[in-house]
Amino acid sequence: MKILLKKPSENTTQNVIDKFSIKELIEFERFCRDNAQWEEMKKCFAENSTVTISWYKGSGHGFVDASSKMATYAPHKIYDTLIWLNDDKAVSITMAKIQMRMEIQGHLLELSSDVKLLYKTQKTDGLWSIISMDGIYEKDALVPVSPADGIIIPKEEIAKFRPSYANMSYCLSKNGHPVDLNLPGIDKPEMVDKLYQESEDWLNS
């Protein structure tokens, strides 16, 4: 039975409780990331969890450790979250905006990146934990913080990267972070479809 990306069916009381718990877990994980609450953030991830985003691919706990070492502050704005349940498993898609300020060539710039975060979560002993988190990249922009502050970045510098997260990739590379250019994004819909299918198969397994 296909569940993912279909209209949610009627909720039972237990479904409502589970969906609220999952939404709270996801939002708390992002809150911890933005507020340097590293030990609490680790509690959100299962021991065998994975994270795959622009600058990191590895275990969930390793992601927390790597995040704690980043010098750049990059807060997240979380919007809608959709959740598909199947007993003790769930797949969630959260719409988010990543924001980051950095200085380039003596100019203060603001990066804004729109992304979907796809979470797999599982309930063990009555508690939900994150099994995996994957980024699906949509679009981004890099603009001066002050309109009067002019800066020219050669087009070829941005053109090296994927259109769906080119500006983010540029900023990350400037900060010394390797960038994975082979991730799901709206410019590679076949990769998005593959991620959705794999998530649906996991949910129904």
Q: Report how far residue 75's alpha carbon sits from residue 171's, in angstroms, rounded to the nearest whole number.
A: 15
In the three-class reduction of DSSP (H, G, I as helix; E, B as strand; rest coil), residue 188 is classed as strand
What 3-state class would DSSP assign to 68? helix
With respect to residue 69, please indicate whether it lies within any of the assigned structural domains. yes
> Is 64 within a domain?
yes
In this predicted structure, what is the pLDDT of residue 3?
Answer: 59
127-144 and 45-52 as β-strands: parallel, antiparallel, unpaired? Answer: parallel
Task: Tell me if 63 is assigned to some domain.
Answer: yes
Assigned domain for 153 exists: yes
Cβ atoms of 102 and 173 within 8 Å: the answer is: no
Residue 107 falls inside a structural domain: yes
Query: Residue 146 has what DSSP assignment?
Result: S
On whether residue 108 sits in a domain, the answer given is yes
Token code pair at residue 124: 């063990």
Q: pTM here?
A: 0.92
**CB contact at 8 A, 121 and 25:** yes
Residue 6 lies in a domain: no
Helix (H) or strand (E) holding 33: helix 13-34
Express each pLDDT in 106-118 by its tens digit: 889 999 999 999 9
For the chain, the maximum distance between any two Cα atoms, rounded to a whole number of angstroms, is 56
pLDDT at 104: 86
In a domain, 139, yes or no: yes
Full domain range(s) for residue 118: 13-204
CA distance 58 to 60: 7
Which pLDDT score, from 0 to 100, does residue 1 have? 44
Euclidean distance between CA atoms 134 and 137, whole angstroms = 10
pLDDT confidence band for 9 (50 / 70 / 90): confident
Instruction: Give the chain's domain count.
Output: 1
Phi, psi of 10 (to 5 degrees): -60, 135
- Tell me the pLDDT band of 105, cut-offs 50, 70 and 90: confident
Write the CATH number for 73.
Answer: 3.10.450.50
> What's the average model confidence in pLDDT over 85-111?
93
CA dist 108 and 105 (Å) reads 9
Instruction: Give the amino acid at 8.
Output: P
